[in-house]
Amino acid sequence: MEYWLLLLAFYLSVLTYYLGALIYSLPIPWRGLKRWGPVLIYDGAASALLVFSFTLIVLGVQHFYTVLGGSWDYFYTWVEDRIATLISYQMLISMISSVASGLPGFASIWWALNPLLSMVSYAIMALTTTLSLGLVVQRYYVRLLALGVALYAVPFRMARSAGAGLMAFSIVFYLGLPLLPVFVDTMGQPVQAYPGIGEAASIGVAFVEGLVTARDGTPIAYGQLRVYLEGSPVAAYPTDASGRFDAGAPDKGLPSKREFNVMLEYAGLELWLSPNPVVPDRDYEPSTAPDANYHLELRANDIASCPQPLAPVALTSPYTLLSSNITHSGNRVEVDLELDVREAGQLVISVPSWLQASISIDGTPASGVAQTWSWRGVGGTVYRFDIGPGGHTIRASYMVVDEPGLPDLETAPYLESLTGTGSLASIIEEVSRLVFTWIVLPSTYLFILTLVTYSLASSLGGRGRIPIPWVG
């Protein structure tokens, strides 16, 4: 094909040359028309020179390509890596969007997700276009160059601009496009690609609210929940004064496609919550909360009752709770429990520092082994009593003697560990940075290449004015 185009260009240059000679020999004394003669003779010779220099030009371009240090392979790898990363971002945002779309408050986060999704789509489109451009230039630049020469040789400069432009385009882009990664990496900020994002779709995310209770249904207030996925901590949420926790939209969440375990850290105790493991399909229930689609009930089976915040009554051995009765009177709280303990173990009663407690087991005041604890900025005493199998009655009386303290609880959103990018705001920031680096900078570079192409085309005669006889 290239050979044919060059042959065509050469034939056209010969034709142009003889057309010039013909116009020269016209017996018409019209200066304006006669001017075409030398112009066409010159054009014919110049086009022929280009045709015969074609191999030289190609060799020169190859030489400069080597000298400049560009690499098409690296260019393709670079672009494909970025497209893959952007696709994973797109998957993540789509997933969050689809999960959150069922929420009543979805409109409030859609403002952030929709433009984000568009930006990522545009970035993918821009990089795909660049990739396609690279493929065309690398594979067809010789053919484009030959076509440019052929157009350049068309008589009367009819396609001279197009030919010069095509030649300049093929040369400049063949040399310049492989250097795009170097330009972007030098001018832009480093963008971190998070490998975990790709797994997001397989693990899934669900926006959940829930309640943590003791065996008798009393809320576990001000506890620290830790969520483990395949043994690794993936999230942490606190419970409030009524034992509720919030893993809702837009940036918290819990796994939706894999089972996980929840541990309760409470007044110096650590215990697994039931169900253990949590199976999302089985244990999630529909929720009417504005920022969650699911409700999850968790129970601390080892805690028989929690009559006051941070004052759990727990057992280390299996038991059955027969009855539980809590009475409040002024600043006093009393809890009466009837238990059927199946194995010998320990009764553990934790008393925070702002409470005073008196404990009796089976009607007998008990003192047990006291041990002080300090946990997340609050402290207290934990009493341990050996307890044998069989039925037991436990009575604990608490009196509030000081202002209650609040533990310093933490929130570690599940989405943060899933994506590695932190909150939704972090994702927006990351995507913005990514769009700047992967859209704005490549576009700038392509613009620069276009300007260079234009200049080179002008140098090759692309802007040459067509001498019109009657204008002079």
Q: Does 42 bind another protein (CB under 8 A)?
A: no
Q: Quick one: how far is CA 147 from the chain centroid?
A: 44
Q: Is 360 helix (H, G, I), strand (E, B) or coil?
A: strand
The answer to whether the beta carbons of residues 219 and 212 sit under 8 Å apart is yes
Q: Does 56 bind another protein (CB under 8 A)?
A: yes
Of 11-19, 119-127, 182-190, 409-417, the segment contacting another protein by CB under 8 A is 11-19
Q: Does 33 bind another protein (CB under 8 A)?
A: no
| Count of residues touching another protein (by CB under 8 A) | 34
How far, in Å, CA of 36 to CA of 9, rounded?
20
Of 7-15, 75-83, 239-247, 321-329, the segment contacting another protein by CB under 8 A is 7-15
Element (H, E) at 355: strand 355-361
Shortest Cβ distance from residue 31 to another protein (Å)? 9
How far, in Å, CA of 100 to CA of 109, rounded?
8
The answer to whether the beta carbons of residues 338 and 323 sit under 8 Å apart is yes
Shortest Cβ distance from residue 100 to another protein (Å)? 60
- The β-bridge partners of 391 are 340
Strands 294-300 and 208-214: parallel
How far, in Å, CA of 87 to CA of 83, rounded?
6
Q: Does 158 bind another protein (CB under 8 A)?
A: no
**Closest to another protein by CB, 82 or 157:** 157
Cα distance between the two ends of the chain: 39
User: Starting at the edge strand that comes first in sequence, how are the strands of the sheet with 244-247 ordered?
Assistant: 244-247, 208-214, 294-300, 285-286
For 226-247, letters b (16+ CB in 10 Å) and e give: bbebeeeebbbbbbeeebbbbb
Q: Does 64 bind another protein (CB under 8 A)?
A: no
Q: Does 54 bind another protein (CB under 8 A)?
A: yes
How far, in Å, CA of 229 to CA of 116, rounded?
28
Of 51-59, 216-224, 267-275, 434-442, the segment contacting another protein by CB under 8 A is 51-59
Shortest Cβ distance from residue 431 to another protein (Å)? 50
- Residue choice 32, 43, 52, 426 for contact with another protein (CB under 8 A): 52
Q: Does 37 bind another protein (CB under 8 A)?
A: yes
For the four alpha carbons of 289, 294, 300 and 304, in that order, the dihedral sign comes to positive
Q: Does 34 bind another protein (CB under 8 A)?
A: yes
- Residue choice 49, 187, 279, 448 for contact with another protein (CB under 8 A): 49
- The β-bridge partners of 308 are 311
Of 12-20, 88-96, 187-195, 281-289, the segment contacting another protein by CB under 8 A is 12-20
How far, in Å, CA of 336 to CA of 395, rounded?
5
The answer to whether the beta carbons of residues 123 and 433 sit under 8 Å apart is no
Q: Does 17 bind another protein (CB under 8 A)?
A: yes
Among 129, 126, 136, 130, which Cα is nearest to 170's?
136
Of 6-14, 84-92, 121-129, 182-190, the segment contacting another protein by CB under 8 A is 6-14
**Closest to another protein by CB, 56 or 187:** 56
**Closest to another protein by CB, 58 or 99:** 58
Of 52-60, 210-218, 235-243, 409-417, the segment contacting another protein by CB under 8 A is 52-60
Spell out the residues 6+ positions from residue 293 whose beta carbon is closer than 8 angstroms to its own: 99, 102, 103, 206, 207, 208, 286, 287
Per-residue contact flags (x/-) with another protein for residues 193 to 232, judged by CB under 8 A: ----------------------------------------
Q: Does 19 bind another protein (CB under 8 A)?
A: yes
Residue type, 167: M
- Residue choice 35, 39, 45, 356 for contact with another protein (CB under 8 A): 45
Q: Does 51 bind another protein (CB under 8 A)?
A: yes
Among 206, 195, 214, which Cα is nearest to 235's?
206
Of 2-10, 172-180, 255-263, 270-278, the segment contacting another protein by CB under 8 A is 2-10
**Closest to another protein by CB, 59 or 448:** 59
The answer to whether the beta carbons of residues 40 and 156 sit under 8 Å apart is yes
**Closest to another protein by CB, 21 or 322:** 21
Of 4-12, 219-227, 294-302, 437-445, the segment contacting another protein by CB under 8 A is 4-12
Name the site residues for another protein (rule: CB under 8 A).
3-4, 6-8, 10-12, 14-15, 17-22, 24-27, 29, 34, 37, 41, 45, 48-49, 51-56, 59
